[in-house]
Amino acid sequence: MNWQTREIAPGLYLVATPLGNARDITLRALDLLAGADVLAAEDTRSLRRLMDIHGVPLGERPLIAYHDHNGARARPRLMAALEAGQSVVYASEAGTPLISDPGFDLMRAALQAGVPCTTAPGPTAAVAALTLSGLPSDRFLFAGFLPTSAGKRKSALSELVGVPATLIFYESPKRLGAMLRDAVEVFGPDRAAVVCRELTKKFEERSAGGLDELARKYADESPKGEIVVLIDRGAGPVTDATTVEAALQEALTRLSVKDAASEVSAIFGISRRDAYQMAMALGKN
């Protein structure tokens, strides 16, 4: 099918593109790709391919690379086009621009320059995974990519222990096993979690279970493709000392002081230090 060119008003258009299945493009995204004066993309080859699939000709229009490594150099050219009253579409490689993808500085610059800005919303892996996860979707926190070093990753996870929302992470397949092991330490072995892989693609997969179960599964199996990890909310922070003490007392019948403190801090969203001190005091009595 050849896409009809429509006239596009001046301004910056952030256009979401499919995560894998090219047919997830929206009709409005195709209108904008067909009609904008200037196209900019994180990966110009991917955008060309997507336009070819949908019969959108590039013609003589410029297609400018705009990504993390050339943003400062490429931005002035895009800003000049915008300030001259042209329409500029920006698409990242897949999904929604700015969501763990480039585009933030361009959007800020355009807003600051008083250029009209809008979005053509569409797929984003975080929301696709949330809707498929089976975990509560009423409140969620998108945490993006975790730090790659084990120490920083654990402290980033610890900050999220008491958050009363489904947690969503992007993760690379080669770090999935290590991330899940760290998550077991921080959130406890039984916290419900889901790994979504290759969403909207041929080998789409959803694996659900307790964190420990998933950590074991992915310890030996290094999956291929793109991955979102979701972790269920905990019980939320509890200030009621009697409840925490009762849980600690029970945990101390099974575990060392350190492990009991770790488990209870994860369940109730209190600091490990506080839980440890309470466990020490209970241990002495």
The number of beta carbons lying within 10 Å of the beta carbon of residue 223 is 18
Decide whether 204 or 274 has the Cβ nearer to ligand SAM. Answer: 204
Sequence letter at residue 60: E
Paired with 197 in beta bridges are 205, 227
Q: Name the minimum Å distance from CB 265 to ligand SAM.
A: 28
Residue number of the CB closest to ligand SAM reads: 95
Name which of 15 and 19 has its Cβ closer to ligand SAM. Answer: 19
CA atoms within 13 A on the CB side of 167: 26
Nearest-CA neighbor of 272 among 256, 282, 261? 261
Q: Of 259, 263, 203, whose CA–CA distance to 227 is shortest?
A: 203
Which positions lie near ligand SAM, rule CB under 6 A? Answer: 19-20, 92, 94-96, 99-101, 124-126, 170-172, 196-201, 226-228
Rounded to a whole number of angstroms, the minimum distance from the CB of residue 88 to ligand SAM is 19
- Whichever of 161 and 228 has its CB closer to ligand SAM, that residue is 228
Whose tokens are 């400018």? That residue is: 64
Nearest distance from C-beta of residue 100 to ligand SAM, angstroms: 4
Cβ of 271: how many Cβ atoms within 10 Å?
A: 14
Of residues 103 and 162, the one with the C-beta less far from ligand SAM = 103
In the complex, the smallest distance separating the C-beta of residue 131 from ligand SAM, rounded to whole angstroms, is 13
Q: Cα(first)–Cα(last) distance of the chain, in Å? A: 78
Which C-beta is closer to ligand SAM: that of 98 or that of 252?
98
Least gap, CB of 96 to ligand SAM (angstroms): 4
